[in-house]
Amino acid sequence: MRLLFVGDVVGRSGRQAVEDHLSSLRRRLKADFVVLNGENAAGGFGITEEIFNSFRDHGADVVTLGNHAWDQREVLVFIERAPELIRPVNYPKGTPGKGAGLFETAHGARVLVMNVMGVAKMEPLGDPFAAVEEQLGACPLGEAADAIIVDMHAELTSEKMAMGHFCDGRASLVVGTHTHVPTADTHVLPGGTAYQTDAGMTGDYDSVIGMDKAEPLNRFTRRIPSGRFEPAAGEATLCGVLVETDDRTGLAVRAGGVRVGGRLQEALPDWASS
């Protein structure tokens, strides 16, 4: 099975990249299942139902969130009728929505998707490792699930790497989101879990992590806010990671970074067309 994960979609330019590239990319890469992080999709802050539906229409099976999950207040309501929208699993009990879900591909394979938020230099949520352990125990790879994808939405590379090793041999893919820069460490861990520290953003890279440069530069140089952060409006690069799994075990056989469009050099795994 082939799994495609698309990194944080930022603003209108990121949404345009999804519209322009995702459906054709899914076909080109022969991806059986697509997960996309959409927590920055609405003006850089949160997601709306209209945007969520657009992502689904353009080829995303599941949309994950993160620390901006609730920035658009409407999500508190529509997430309850959108099982394919996944918020961090380590939010307190009673929080709207779900942090994990078991989904079926067109060919009948079962894919567990979970979104978990790191706690180092982030919001003080529940223990991410305990939350992931609970989900892995309830839906084991190779038994209840044919593939497992963990979106680790975290600030520190160390916390993301620790989650990768924590899940090694028990998940198909652990991929980091939140820091918006694609890392070059895509590989398969010793136990068979594909890993990348950050998928990168789907946004305009002529920016400061997806935001128009003026206000971040002003705050760094003058230390005085002068306005809102606004997403950069140039052509976006769609970034992510592609994983191929062993259908018998659900573990990764190979993995590679994906970059299409915009300013970054295009990259597709050399095995993707086979």
Contact 170, 236 (CB under 8 A): no
Alpha helix stretches (DSSP H) within the chain: 11-29, 49-57, 75-78, 128-138, 157-167, 214-222
Q: What's the token pair of residue 117?
A: 């938020």
3-state secondary structure of 12: helix
Beta carbons within 8 Å of 123's beta carbon, 6+ residues apart: 67, 117
What is the rounded CA–CA span in Å between residue 145 and residue 40? 29
The DSSP annotation for 192-228 comes to S-EEES----BB-SSSBTTB-SHHHHHHHHH----S-
Which residue among 68, 153, 178, 180 is the active-site one?
Answer: 68
Active site residue 21: no
Catalytic residues: 68
